[in-house]
């Protein structure tokens, strides 16, 4: 079996990816799970029904929500390669949380989640890479990142100017570029390149945060992307999956998670 590879931006190292390549025609892409294992299991069940050949995660897996260890256990069980999100990096280097755009109000939840991780969980996080590069056909690659290929704190949106895209998405063979971070599903075509966002498994935003409303409101479903290709033709399916809101509310209410009240407010009937 062939595998993808980790790309080598200046800030990151290289290594082999556990992503099937060559014969793969269907790839599921997850992002921004944020400690929400109930939503993750609903997405994984939908993925299994699609008969995919591979799976990759774009980071921010184990912070803010009540189930950080459960999320990491599921990803390890699937041998899922993972991009290093800004929240993942903040878990590994909490002294850099502010530089990684983690608001101070989230620090207690960051600490709470870190205290629940095992050594196997930390090893998984340390193995995350800034960028994964996946060959999908002759002369064509898919580039997977968190914010942009240059930084896990960049926000690439439907409104991002084309000039910024050219700077962020400079790659000789990639025609498919996929990220997360914004929690907003998105698909755009720029000069023959497809740029898309898989959305968020654990906290799909209704709208981008604004200065006057920095705390986002959530949609009551989980999101991911399904990419297919055959003889040079590409399909990108941005999917939404329902999950058990009542089960998540009960689990969260029974926890001492610092963000418990916010989570319960988001999914209140």
Instruction: Note the pLDDT of residue 212.
Output: 64
* Cβ atoms of residues 194 and 175 within 8 Å: yes
Burial environment of residue 257 by CB neighbours within 10 A (0 to 12, 13 to 18, 19 or more): buried
Q: Which of 71-85, 151-165, 243-257 has the lowest mean pLDDT?
A: 151-165
Helix or strand (DSSP H, E) at 48: helix 37-50
152 Cβ partners below 8 Å, 6+ apart?
59, 83, 84, 85, 86, 89, 100, 130, 145, 146, 181
Residue 229: pLDDT band (50, 70, 90) is: confident
Q: How far apart are CA 267 and CA 269, in angstroms?
A: 6
Q: How far apart are CA 46 and CA 142, in angstroms?
A: 22
Using the predicted structure, report yes or no on whether residue 17 has a pLDDT greater than 80: no
- Paired tokens of 1: 């079996």
Predicted structure pTM score:
0.90
Using the predicted structure, report yes or no on whether residue 47 has a pLDDT greater than 70: yes
**Span 180-189, pLDDT tens digits:** 999 999 999 9
């Amino acid at each position: 079996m062939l595998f993808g590879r980790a790309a080598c931006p200046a800030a990151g190292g290289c290594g082999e990816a556990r992503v099937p390549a060559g014969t793969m025609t269907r790839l599921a892409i997850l992002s921004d799970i944020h400690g929400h294992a109930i939503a993750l299991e609903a997405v994984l069940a939908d993925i299994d029904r699609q008969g995919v050949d591979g799976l990759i995660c774009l980071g921010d897996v184990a912070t803010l929500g009540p189930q950080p260890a459960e999320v990491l256990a599921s990803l390890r069980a699937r041998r899922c390669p993972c991009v290093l999100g800004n929240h993942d990096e903040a878990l590994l280097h909490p002294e850099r949380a502010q530089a990684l755009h983690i608001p101070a109000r989230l620090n207690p939840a960051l600490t709470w989640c870190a205290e629940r991780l095992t050594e196997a969980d930390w090893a998984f996080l340390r193995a995350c890479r800034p960028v994964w590069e996946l060959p999908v056909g002759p002369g064509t690659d898919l580039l997977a990142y968190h914010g942009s290929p240059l930084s896990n704190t960049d926000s690439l949106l439907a409104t991002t100017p084309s000039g910024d895209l050219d700077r962020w998405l400079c790659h000789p063979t990639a025609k498919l570029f996929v990220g997360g971070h914004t929690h907003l599903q998105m698909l755009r075509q720029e000069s023959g390149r497809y740029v898309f966002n898989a959305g968020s498994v654990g906290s799909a935003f209704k709208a981008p945060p604004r200065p006057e409303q920095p705390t986002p409101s959530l949609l009551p479903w989980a999101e991911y992307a399904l990419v297919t290709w055959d003889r040079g033709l590409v399909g990108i399916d941005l999917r939404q999956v329902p999950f058990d809101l009542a089960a998540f509310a009960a689990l969260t209410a029974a926890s001492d998670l610092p963000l418990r009240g916010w989570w319960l407010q988001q999914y209140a009937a």
